[in-house]
Amino acid sequence: MINRIGNWMEDRIGWRAAWEGIFLRKIPKVNWLYTLGSASLFIAINQIVTGILLTLYYVPTPDHAYNTVQFITYELPAGWFIRGLHHYGASAMVILAVLHMLRVIYYGAYKYPREVTWTSGVLLLLVVLGFGFTGYLLPWDQRAFWATTVGTRIAGTAPLVGDFILRVIRGGPELSEVTLARFYGVHVWVLPAVLLLLVGVHMILVIRNGISAPPEAGE
pLDDT at 18: 78
Contacts for 144 with CB less than 8 Å, ≥ 6 apart:
136, 137, 138
Q: Residue 59 has what pLDDT?
A: 97
At 123, the amino acid letter reads: L
> In this predicted structure, what is the pLDDT of residue 201?
96
pLDDT at 20: 76
Please report whether residue 144 resides in a domain.
yes
At residue 88, the pLDDT reads 98
Instruction: Determine the structural domain holding residue 177 and report its residue range.
Output: 31-209
pLDDT of the chain along its 219 residues, tens only? 888 888 888 888 887 877 877 777 777 788 899 999 999 999 999 999 999 999 999 999 999 999 999 999 999 999 999 999 999 999 999 999 999 999 999 999 999 999 999 999 999 999 999 999 999 999 999 999 999 999 999 989 999 899 999 999 999 999 999 999 999 999 999 999 999 999 999 999 998 898 887 766 655
Whether residue 76 is contained in a domain is answered as yes
* Residue 85 falls inside a structural domain: yes
| 23 within some domain | no
- Number of domains the chain is built from: 1
In a domain, 146, yes or no: yes
pLDDT at position 166: 95
Give pTM, 2 decimals: 0.91
CATH number for the domain including 42? Answer: 1.20.810.10
pLDDT of amino acid 11: 86
Residue 20 lies in a domain: no
Is there a domain that residue 191 lies in?
yes
Please check whether residue 145 lies inside any domain of the structure.
yes
Contact by Cβ (8 Å): 58, 52: no
